[in-house]
Chain A
């Protein structure tokens, strides 16, 4: 497969990502290196939750 270069990025799309960064970058202060590696996401990792109501 040949790998051609895509056409230049539009200024409008760059502006969209800059807007997103304005919302995203302030969140980074919450992260500390000693915790939260990218590999830890586990949807099933639940603390012991109280039971759901049972069907009657």
Chain B
């Protein structure tokens, strides 16, 4: 059920917040357990809060669309009095004394958290094969990864346990699991949502955003969490829009960027076909497809890796014991320690240089429509994927189309646009200029009606 569906039942008196929480808790404790979707389930806290929400509604106090709706936060968000592990042994006993800004805003908007979702260790990876809290399984086919790092959030939504969840995205961690699990997720513009009270990974690229069962779920959550926060130095003062989407009958005047380079290279044929078909749907509705050269995707990926690895290794500079980390995370921390200071500074300078090229791109088009991931969800047992006879590391393949939006800070949304022959969902990625979230969500909602 979507947020709206549950809200309608609540306000019609056909269910209660306690009933919704009970159902979500039961599903989390059964299906969610099989999927390893959760690290912590807060049954007592959820039922206590749900009871308060019911009493408020009975007294005529309605906090809005999220009032009484169950959710769970990626276990990277600080939750007051409830441990926040980051999917890591390093934080296994960390109990924050305050809620993260986005968590607090959701609480004020009436949402009821049932716990914390599993993730890739430290949010530093895309498989959610967490060695400490269990491998997360994809609800669509359980022998496949859900993607990551917000893998627990995405699979819980795909399984119908939740309508939405908070995620983070440093190099695709909202969009990759959205693509692999067949749900919707939006990485907003850098600075749009506060990162205060979120375990950091790479301050240069960390973004907070929602994953949801449908486009509107993401929009309603973004309405609640977007906005300036003086506690986050990267937080933007740009005015916040109403993100509630209204589907369009026509897309006349829409200029759709179709990448001539990079984004359709080395892509599974079903993925390429589904995304091109989605572009044709936009054209049928009146949009104009314009072929464009996307500035330097290969260069951006190198720049992103240099900055991210140095950022993360700087955070964990005092960690000297490999036993506290999974092998993959430790290797990345080691690699980051090898980045030179000059390389880091010059990567940041190159980032600014390429930003200007993107400003020019956004003069030509309104949106770039590309695959989210070049493949559907890989098998858990696979470390590599094979596309057209070429073998590629699963992590590199999954992040190939991701790093651009993180490096530039531009908003990017992933939504399902079909299924591959193996039955797995395919993700369509819509990227646009800074602070165009309302436009992106409206377009995605229109596509949801027409795909």
Contact = CB atoms under 8 A, between A and B. Distances in A.
Interface of A: 1, 3-7, 9-10, 12-14, 16-17, 20-21, 23-24, 27-28, 30-31, 36-38, 40-47, 49-50, 52-53, 55-56
Most A Cβ at <10 Å: residue of B189, B246, B322, B352? B352
B381 to A, nearest CB: 22
B298 interface: yes
Interface string B303-343: 10110000000000011101000000001001101110001
A6 B253 CA distance: 57
Interface of B: 189-191, 236, 238, 246, 248-254, 298-299, 301-303, 305-306, 318-320, 322, 331, 334-335, 337-339, 343, 345-353, 355, 359-360, 362-363, 366, 408-410, 432-436, 439, 442
Given A10-B331, A46-B434, A55-B246, A38 B348 contact: yes
Given A3-B318, A46-B362, A49-B433, A14 B338 contact: yes
Nearest to A18: B338
Given A36-B352, A45-B355, A47-B363, A6 B320 contact: yes
Given A10-B334, A20-B302, A23-B301, 17 more contacts: A7-B322, A9-B337, A14-B338, A16-B335, A37-B349, A38-B348, A40-B352, A41-B348, A42-B355, A43-B434, A44-B238, A45-B359, A46-B359, A46-B434, A52-B436, A55-B442, A56-B250
Contact of A44 (B334, B347, B434): B434
Contacts of B410: 43
A45 B191 CA distance: 13
A56 B363 contact: no
A4 B320 contact: yes
B348 A53 contact: no
A36 B318 CA distance: 32
